[in-house]
Amino acid sequence: MRTNQARSFGLYALLFLGAVISLFPFYWAVIGATNTSGKIFAKPPILVPGNLFIENLTNLNEAIGIGRVLFNSVFVTVIYTALSLIICSMAGYAFAKFRFKGRELIFAIFLLSMMVPYHALVIPLFKMMAAWGWLNSYQALIVPNLAYTFAIFLMRQNMMAVPDGLMEAGRIDGVGEWRLFTKIILPSVKPSLAATAIFLFMYQWNSFLWPLIVINTKEMYTLPIALSSLFGLSRIDYGQVMAGVTIATGPIIIFFLSLQKYFISGMLGSAVKG
């Protein structure tokens, strides 16, 4: 009995330590957002909040125009997540439930494309955006990566677990393919939809390289690009940098926490093979 209690205590202590280590960078960013650069790098470190958050936020707004930048990031991320979720779920449905010639080969090519370094695609994509006149536009940020390969794979794996008999029963009742997809398939894979939405949201929200290439005006900056512009050759105000990091991290944490139970269920469901 005591052995089990000691084992449980050790396990919870280990989990608590892991949680502290994982959350400390976020706590440090919040502390930094309320202090000056000197206090951020003070020895011993200051671990209590200061009273300069409003000042740091004001300086941040003067430097990058936080309102416009935040709008750009939210707009691009929300539109991208919604459109990509639709496209990837439809592609996953096709790969999971339709039988057509070359299905396995095409899906294998999709998976192999994940092994191609993203940097190798940047130049062709940039030339395509330039030819279409899409440089420095929202569509250049949203369209190129809508068919996210991992999201398609995740949706396919979960949709393969939906019984074919359920679909056949719907077809016998005269249900069309679109209604079958929206009324039967999608409600059956809600956890995987939520998990995929989290992946897509985080991917686009944190995207840095591609926006850096196709965006060339401050009015179109997203948060990662705007925050990187704070690091120049002159003095760096780490207080306003930390304020920006805090703002940039908040939406991801809120979005993840709101869907975390579906995220866990979706990850478990992705292991199911049809």
Answer whether residue 182 is part of any domain.
Answer: yes
The pLDDT value recorded for residue 78 is: 95
The pLDDT value recorded for residue 10 is: 84
Answer whether residue 53 is part of any domain.
Answer: no
Q: What is the pTM of this model?
A: 0.85
What residues make up the domain containing 136?
65-236+243-269
Cis peptide before 211 (omega within 30 of 0): no
The pLDDT value recorded for residue 144 is: 92
The pLDDT value recorded for residue 266 is: 52
Spatial separation of the C-alpha atoms in residues 135 and 138, rounded to whole Å: 9
The pLDDT value recorded for residue 274 is: 43
Task: Using 70 as the pLDDT threshold, list the residues of the chain that sit under it.
Answer: 1-2, 233-234, 263-274
Answer whether residue 173 is part of any domain.
Answer: yes
Provide the CATH number for the domain around residue 152.
1.10.3720.10
Domain count within the chain: 1
The answer to whether residues 132 and 70 touch, using CB atoms and an 8 Å cutoff, is no
Nearest to 244 by CA among 264, 266, 222: 222
Answer whether residue 23 is part of any domain.
Answer: no
The pLDDT value recorded for residue 132 is: 94
Answer whether residue 52 is part of any domain.
Answer: no
Q: Around Cβ 151, how many Cβ atoms within 10 Å? A: 26
The answer to whether residues 56 and 240 touch, using CB atoms and an 8 Å cutoff, is yes
Answer whether residue 40 is part of any domain.
Answer: no
The pLDDT value recorded for residue 83 is: 96
Q: Around Cβ 242, how many Cβ atoms within 10 Å? A: 23
Answer whether residue 1 is part of any domain.
Answer: no
The pLDDT value recorded for residue 81 is: 95
Any idea which residue has 């304020």 for tokens? Answer: 243
Nearest 5°: phi and psi at 35? -135, 175
Answer whether residue 34 is part of any domain.
Answer: no
Nearest to 141 by CA among 197, 223, 60, 63: 223
